């Protein structure tokens, strides 16, 4: 499971690569979502680098709703990697699979 970071556009959702929630839950904590917001606010408008992983595109499908394109990516801003930053704040663990 990857953390929804932000919507890149109206029709694509990006996920942070190589991490899982710290507490082993399937759902990310409110604190994790707040930390992602803080990460991007600290960038103060600087360029966000999004590097999709090879073969990481997919679709999220829900009954009676249009599917949403997904991509898993490494995300960084101001030289900081979002996954590493969440791990350092004890909000995520490295993905072991």
Domain ranges of the chain: 4-94
Question: Tokens 């909000």 appear where?
Answer: 91
Which distant-in-sequence residues (6+ apart) come within 8 Å of 35 by Cβ?
85, 86, 89, 91
Going by the DSSP 8-state scheme, the letter that residue 27 receives in this structure is S
For 35-90, write each residue's pLDDT tens digit. Answer: 988 988 888 888 888 898 888 888 878 888 888 888 888 999 999 999 999 999 99
Report, at the CATH architecture level, how domain 4-94 is classified. Answer: Beta Barrel (2.40)
Reported pTM: 0.73
Contact by Cβ (8 Å): 36, 87? no
């Amino acid at each position: 499971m990857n953390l929804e970071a932000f919507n890149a556009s109206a029709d694509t959702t990006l996920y942070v690569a190589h991490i899982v929630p710290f507490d082993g839950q399937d759902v990310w904590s409110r604190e994790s979502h707040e930390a992602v917001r803080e990460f991007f606010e600290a960038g103060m408008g600087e360029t966000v680098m999004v590097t999709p992983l090879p073969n990481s595109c997919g679709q999220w499908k829900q009954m009676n709703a249009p599917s949403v394109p997904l991509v898993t990516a490494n995300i960084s801003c101001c030289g900081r990697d979002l996954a590493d930053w969440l791990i350092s704040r004890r909000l995520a663990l490295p993905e072991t699979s």
